[in-house]
Structure 1
């Protein structure tokens, strides 16, 4: 069991400043969750396992990363809500008080703990704090809008925020202005108004939904949710700064440090888990002789490796590793993989291939090497995160991510070489690359290449949601691409229908 216990006696730290005691009190407090929503002002103190600590944080990170992707791909709030609904249900469901669910407390505990875990991970730099606050606020807004009116109002009134109710006298004084702001809706005479400093509601001022006078914003009651969101953002920003100051003083369990470090590095592109059991493209002929045909379904990184291999009849070490693990992941067995590499390296003799390359292929499949490698069936295919961050390519090497490691001219030439010539797509890729949203560029290309199939899948109700979850693994790219391009061969079986989306 794991507990955030920061009160262990240390002879070097006996004289603790009273202002630091807030970070040194591990006393367990029973936390109740009367509301679906949470301002995350009370840190958790109960015991959880190390596995829960990591898994809960990863699940929340997936949601925040998907929200970040949505902010670049999806324009309207309604589209984003539709897209995120099944993802939230998958990774972090939160049922309302009116539901009959028996897991309300467990759901809300996971939400509570995962927020504070990521708060620790993303408090170290100003950039991480700013991004974390932005997408936590977006998540809070989605949940607030999705809440029932009764639960939302109960939560808002529990906050005790210092909003001043506009008096009857003042309402009469500005009656014409307030009525104009309300748009002459029926019943506006009975509508309540609140006074707040204008700095607390910048979004309402920007959209001209409040009456502004002498630095005071007069906000109608129907806009309370926007005020709540603004208050959430302000409080979280302050809390993140306090956490950042406390980090050097926290006596963290050394088991947590690598987990927190891993989480912070994976904010942009979360490291995707990979499973052979649910990633195979049903009906595909995965053989050495068919790789050329299947390569049209490969992401750009693997298409570049394949084209380089066909051009040079050779790949350097890291290119062979990246491509071998990918081919293994799509279902190419060891025997066929050896045939593929031997036929691809056609400029060398059998003896040279057997001496210099055969062992490495067998090792990748777990046939030779250490015991742990054999027990695990070899190594897993590289995720986008691993390709982006480890072993950048040098001269003469073809591995890596073209969206990151190519200059713009070479990237454009490669995209055009695989049939991407649409100006809007190329411009979008340029912007994604400039903003270092490399996985977004890859998803942009995927959606363009498969736009007709995606539309057909939606029209025929073959997708569980109106949008695709962001791809963060090359093998998932292949899996989805093959299934989309072969919709007519998919059966009506629910287990087969667009599995993996």
Structure 2
């Protein structure tokens, strides 16, 4: 199929298509790229028109019914509840370093999540060891241990809190010295490049991630990181740190099973 080269930018960028005199010659098995580009173009135009109609007419008409629902969608998380680890066995302290290296997203490497299965006693021990380096054991017991027990539903209203979704993490504004924000939003480009390099993201994949960050597409940046680290696509995108962890564990277990069968 012969089409203008600008209709298949991903094929051109990855040098997977023959170009001659401004036209790209797309093979049958590459047509999906053309369709995706056309779909995104039509969707973008439709969203612009919808937004215009929404702001000029529908928002006011539906202010008591649809408007609150629609305008909350951008910050809503409708995915699985990760308040408890369901897919994998409980994790012990001795497993953290290895599992973090293989399956934690960048944010979890800086702020551990209870949704991966760490028990309360182990969480307290882990954070006490980490925080004591900076604030001392006595101050940790007085100022920080309560918050950890509270998150596990053992203090206060005894609510078993759900770990934050990507959207909530991105929208948070950590203070100086805090580590609970989204690294793709909060890190300097230099620090982000270094952190991604340690995860094994390099060359073109690294530049693609940085490009998404520069355009403030932080979840897309995390999704590209996942794909680069695991060597597989993530069509659903990353919407929650524990989703990253769960999907990573499944992929690694499948890879281990394939190795045992074929090896």
State the TM-score, normalized to the length of structure 2.
0.72
Q: What CA distance in whole angstroms lies between the structure 1 residues aligned with 2:199 and 2:49? A: 48
Equivalent residue runs for 1:194-213 within 5 Å:
none
Partner residue, 2:203: 423
Shift of 1:381: 0.5
Instruction: Give the structure 2 partner of residue 271 of structure 1.
Output: 77
Shift in Å, 1:355? 1.8
CA 1:271/1:411 → structure 2, altered by over 3 Å: closer, same or farther? Answer: same
Compute the displacement of 1:406 (Å).
Answer: 1.8
Write out aligned runs for 1:404-483 (5 A): 404-420=185-201, 422-451=202-231, 454=232, 468-483=235-250
- Deviation >6 Å, runs of 4+: none
Counterpart CA distance in 2 for 1:468 and 1:251 is: 33
CA shift, 1:490, in A, is: 6.1
Give distance in 2, aligned partners of 1:239 and 1:396. 42
Alpha-carbon distance between aligned partners in 1 of 2:42 and 2:223, rounded to the nearest angstrom: 24
Confirm whether residue 78 of structure 1 aligns to residue 29 of structure 2. no
CA pair 79-345 structure 1, distance change in 2 beyond 3 A? same
1:389 corresponds to: 171
Match of 1:246 in 2: 57
Q: Using a 3 Å threshold, how does the CA distance of structure 1 residues 274 and 80 change in structure 2: closer, same or farther?
A: farther
Q: Quote the Cα distance in structure 1 between the aligned partners of 2:84 and 2:161.
A: 17
Tell whether the 8 Å contact from 1:329 to 1:381 is kept in structure 2 after alignment.
yes
Instruction: Write the distance in 1 (CA, Å) between the matches of 2:151 and 2:72.
Output: 24
For structure 1, list consecutive stretches of 5 or more residues without a partner in the other structure. Answer: 1-69, 85-133, 140-232, 306-322, 455-465, 492-501
Map of 1:487 onto structure 2: 254
Alignment counterpart, residue 361 of structure 1, candidates 137, 141, 148: 148
Flag the 1:384–1:287 CA change in 2: closer, same or farther, 3 A: same
Q: Superposition RMSD on alpha carbons, in Å?
A: 3.6
- In structure 2, how many angstroms separate the alpha carbons of the residues matched to 1:425 and 1:440? 12
Write the mapping of 1:56-455 to structure 2, written as runs, cut at 5 A. 78=32, 137-138=42-43, 241-247=52-58, 249-250=60-61, 252-253=63-64, 256-263=66-73, 265-266=74-75, 271-276=77-82, 280-282=86-88, 286-296=91-101, 297-303=103-109, 305=110, 323=111, 326=113, 328-347=114-133, 350-370=137-157, 374=158, 377-390=159-172, 392-420=173-201, 422-451=202-231, 454=232
Deviations 1:263-316 (A, max 9, x none): 2x34xxx6352324996443x55012321121111111122x1xxxxxxxxxxx
Bigger radius of gyration:
1
Other structure's SS at 2:77 match: coil
Count of matched residue pairs? 229
1:2-41 equivalences under 5 Å are none
Native 8 Å contact 1:272 1:473 kept in 2: no
In 2: Cα distance, 1:275 partner to 1:238 partner = 34
Q: Which runs of 5+ in 2 are unaligned?
A: 1-9, 17-29, 259-263
Contact 1:289 1:340 in 2 (8 A): no
Q: 1:475 to 1:240 in 2, by over 3 A?
A: closer
1:95 corresponds in structure 2 to none
Counterpart of 1:300 in 2: which secondary structure?
coil
Give the alignment's TM-score, normalised by structure 1. Answer: 0.40
Cα distance change, pair 257–292 in 1 and its aligned pair in 2 (3 A): same
CA contact (8 A) 2:82 2:115 kept: yes
C-alpha separation between the residues in 2 aligned to 1:467 and 1:378? 29
CA distance 1:285–1:430, change in 2 (3 Å): same
Displacement, 1:354? 2.4
